[in-house]
Amino acid sequence: MKRFLISLAALLLLTATGLSAQDKGYDVFVPIGKYIAQGDAASLSAWFSDNLEVSIISSTRNCSKTQARQIVKTFFEAYTPRSFDVSHKASRANMKYALGQLNAGGEVFLVTIFVSAKADGTYQIQQLKIDRQTAVY
């Protein structure tokens, strides 16, 4: 019982103080992936940098956060997401990237996400790329 109470107190302390993005074990792609899988452009856009590159089915634009949100929203409306799975993640210095497969609108898309760390320990999406997956033989 004493061990349980100590564990509970530690958990409550961690929850009350919050965890920063730099804490060990934090995976920025968990919430980002969840919003992609849900087709939630508004929540996903909270992760967008003020200016970012968005590439959707070979149409690439450097745009503002607001423009990017609308582009992604339009894509999700045309291709309703069913699932999203991250297949590869890597990082270097202040950058992280992930590759994943999005099952949406009866098609499979390859998604590439680049994020960068800000000085306050948070991450922002710098590039989001969604392309039709081509068959590999």
What is the average per-residue pLDDT within 40-61?
96
How far is the C-alpha of 31 from the C-alpha of 37, rounded, in Å? 10
Mean pLDDT, to the nearest integer, of 64-71?
98
Tens-place pLDDT, residues 77-114: 999 999 999 999 999 888 999 999 999 999 999 999 99
pLDDT score of 12 more than 80: no
Q: How far is CA 35 from CA 85, 99, 112, 131, in A?
A: 12, 15, 14, 18
Tell me how long the chain is. 137
Distance CA 3, CA 9 (A): 10
> Quick one: pLDDT band at residue 121, thresholds 50, 70, 90?
confident
Q: What pLDDT score was predicted for residue 7?
A: 39
Which amino acid type is present at position 66? T
Domains of the chain: 28-132 (3.10.450.50)
Q: What is the pLDDT of residues 17-50, one digit of tens each?
A: 333 344 445 799 999 999 999 999 999 999 999 9
Which pLDDT belongs to residue 135? Answer: 62
Ordered DSSP codes for 80-91: -EEEEEEEEEEE
- Residues 6 or more apart whose CB falls under 8 angstroms from that of 130 comprise 55, 56, 57, 75, 102, 109, 110, 111
Give the model's pLDDT for residue 134: 78
Q: With 90 as the cut, is the pLDDT of residue 126 above it?
A: yes
pTM for this entry:
0.79
Q: Which residue has the tokens 């099952």?
A: 103
Torsion sign over Cα 117, 16, 89, 29: negative
